[in-house]
Amino acid sequence: MDEIDLSGMDLPEKERKILQAAIGVFSEKGFSASTTNEIAKNAGVAEGTIFRYYKTKKDILRGILIQAINLFSSKIVIGGVEKIFGSAEEKDLRTLLKELLHDRLKLVETFFPMFRVILTEAIYHEDVREALYKNIAVKAIEAVGNLQENMVNRGFVRGDVSPTALLRSAIGSLAVLIAQKILMGDKFTSEEFEAEADIAIDILLNGLAPRSPDSET
């Protein structure tokens, strides 16, 4: 079972252990096939202890989602982006995108079991999608907007498109590459990943149209 570190969550220790165990069980067996007895066993608590914090198994899942989204948005997902973008004055856009790609890959690899639970529920529940939008998407767009202003002033990016459009273009390209690495694992070597990353970033920066001879250096 994958071990997920929830030490950053501001919760009572028993509740944190319950959530941590639930993430592992849900990720391994799926929500429907999981039982509160299995969660309690993996958390090292009596089954009755779970129901002091959550009335139903569904409430446990919602507890995971709420706490995880809050943690991810403030400390992990957006924090990493802001740290990379904070050094934008010293780097060109290609370097920033490469750093962002590696940071997001590491994030997905570390928290994949939790992401899997959250994204599965987001497909079926509007309130989960809304939480993701408010806590992550809105903040990401704001961070990209700040970066865009910096890059426009330095002549690196267009200023006539919205931060949302820039984010969508970058995320779409890099997310597919990250998904390929996660799905293929060791079959997609580090060398191959780096080569594909350079191609993806080059296309992102220069488009799909053939370059004219004058543009090649």
Q: Which residues contact 44 (CB under 8 A, 6 or more apart)?
A: 17, 21
- The pTM (predicted TM-score) of the whole model is 0.66
Count CB atoms within 10 A of the CB of residue 65: 20
> What is d(CA 146, CA 66) in angstroms, rounded to the nearest whole number?
27
SS3 167: helix
SS3 16: helix
Phi-psi region of 9 (alpha: psi -120 to 50; beta: other; left: phi over 0): beta
| Phi, psi (degrees; rounded to nearest 5) at 160 | -100, 15
From first to last of the 217 residues of the chain, give the pLDDT tens digit. Answer: 345 556 656 678 888 888 888 878 877 877 778 888 998 999 999 999 988 888 887 787 777 667 667 666 665 666 677 777 777 677 888 888 898 899 889 888 877 777 777 788 788 878 778 888 888 888 878 878 887 887 888 888 888 888 888 888 888 888 899 999 998 988 999 999 999 999 999 998 888 888 666 655 4
Q: Which domains does the chain have, with CATH numbers?
A: 64-206 (1.10.357.10)
Q: H/E/C letters for each residue in 170-207?
A: HHHHHHHHHHHHHHHHHHCCHHHHHHHHHHHHHHHHHC
In this structure, are residues 85 and 47 in contact, taking their beta carbons and an 8 Å threshold? no
SS3 30: coil
Count CB atoms within 10 A of the CB of residue 155: 7
